[in-house]
Amino acid sequence: MINQTKLILTVIFCYCITACQPKPTPKEALETKIRTQIDSIEGDVAVALLNLAEPSDTLFINESEEFHAASTMKVPVMIELFKQQASGKINLNDSILLINEFKSIVDSSPYSMDIGDDSNDVIYSKINTNVALKDLMYSMITVSSNLATNVLIELVDAKKVTATMRDLGADKIEVLRGVEDQKAYDLGLSNSTTAKDLLIIMQAIATNKAGTETDCEAMINILKDQQFNEIIPHELPDNVEVAHKTGSITGVHHDAGIVYLPDGRSYVLVLLSKNLKDFDKGTEQLAGISKTIYDYLMEQ
């Protein structure tokens, strides 16, 4: 009888301890769920979230870890293009002769872009003709044209792109070169970023800190025309607009964007990944993280 009483008291004691524990806040529950989702991904993932309607509402996981920037570096190039137009250095309505030849940052040796890596890019059909800078910029973002990117980054100068990102507060992102510079890649000279820096950059666009209000609005409209939508927007309702830029290379898939909710609120979300063992499955899982964050914010 005594042992049975002890057992009952023990059960009651354990129940009281459990019941008295504070219930996790919605934010704590969100982080727990996202970390569980990340643990299920065979690869490395970073997450950065900022609720623009409530700036204190943030979430950072591995936000300072360095990743190959892939095509997310094209957003800084776009910002620099608008900056140089505002200063009178260039005019985005002007045209440039499109030539498929570039110089490696290693030794200035020439290399060309492979249309096989840019299969959706109509810009290749315009080689050896004059193309407006604004059209090259649009293709650089919406279909991630590598050819357009290299033309534009040579025009504005990669060092100036990085310097502008520093001015915005992104202190780790490095824009060193254009795309497909194999000699540079072999030496480890690649564009790199962190989730935190991309969040700072997208926030700057969303809050008109990346240029004039008119220019930032133009950037957002271009980003909303993004043609690759497998991550942030993939599981979201059709009435949710996303202004974003993706990036991918072998084992790497990123998405950084501004999400506009139907009620007028918005948030910045950055999802970075590397060392993905299963690219397609990893992409689906990243889209799942985006949906988790959307659900959390819709409940607030």
Structure tokens at 279: 């690219």
Residues 98 and 151 in one domain: yes
State the pLDDT at residue 71: 96
Tally Cβ neighbours within 10 Å of residue 11: 10
**Domain containing 127 — which CATH number?**
3.40.710.10
φ and ψ of 47, to 5 deg: -130, 135
Q: In this structure, are residues 145 and 139 in contact, taking their beta carbons and an 8 Å threshold?
A: yes
State the pLDDT at residue 17: 47
CA distances from 275 to 45, 99, 209, 249, 253 (A): 9, 34, 33, 10, 9
Domain that holds residue 262: 24-65+194-300
Residues 48 and 97 in one domain: no
Find residue 254's DSSP bridge partners. 247
Residues 148 and 90 in one domain: yes
Instruction: List b or e across 231-268, with b for residues whose CB sees 16 or more CB atoms inside 10 angstroms.
Output: bbbbebeeeebbbbbbbbeebbbbbbbbbbbeeeebbb
The CA-based angle 86-100-85, given to 5 degrees, is 0
Residues 59 and 204 in one domain: yes
Say which DSSP state 23 is in. Answer: P
Q: Given the DSSP bridges, would you call strands 44-51 and 58-61 parallel, antiparallel or unpaired?
A: antiparallel
Residues 152 and 215 in one domain: no
Residues 287 and 258 in one domain: yes
Find residue 244's DSSP bridge partners. 257
Tell me, yes or no, whether 291 lies in a domain. yes
* pTM: predicted TM-score of the whole model, two decimal places: 0.91
Query: Helices 279-298 and 26-39: crossing angle, nearest 10°?
Result: 170
- Residue 6 CB partners (closer than 8 Å, separation 6+): none
Tell me, yes or no, whether 221 lies in a domain. yes
Structure tokens at 260: 């506009």
CB burial class (10 A; 0-12, 13-18, 19+) of residue 213? exposed
Give the end of a domain, one of 136, 170, 204. 170
Find residue 68's DSSP bridge partners. 192
Tell me, yes or no, whether 178 lies in a domain. no
Quote the distance between the C-alpha of residue 118 and its chain's center: 19
Domain count, the chain: 2
pLDDT along the chain (300 residues), means of 10: 53 49 85 97 98 95 97 98 98 95 90 74 88 97 94 96 98 93 87 97 98 98 97 97 97 98 97 98 98 95
Tell me, yes or no, whether 236 lies in a domain. yes
End-to-end alpha-carbon separation of the chain, Å? 51
| C-alpha span between 263 and 299 (Å, rounded) | 12
| C-alpha span between 147 and 102 (Å, rounded) | 10
Residues 293 and 202 in one domain: yes
Structure tokens at 105: 């940052």
Find residue 266's DSSP bridge partners. 260
Tell me, yes or no, whether 12 lies in a domain. no
- Residue 300 CB partners (closer than 8 Å, separation 6+): 26, 51, 54, 57
Find residue 59's DSSP bridge partners. 49
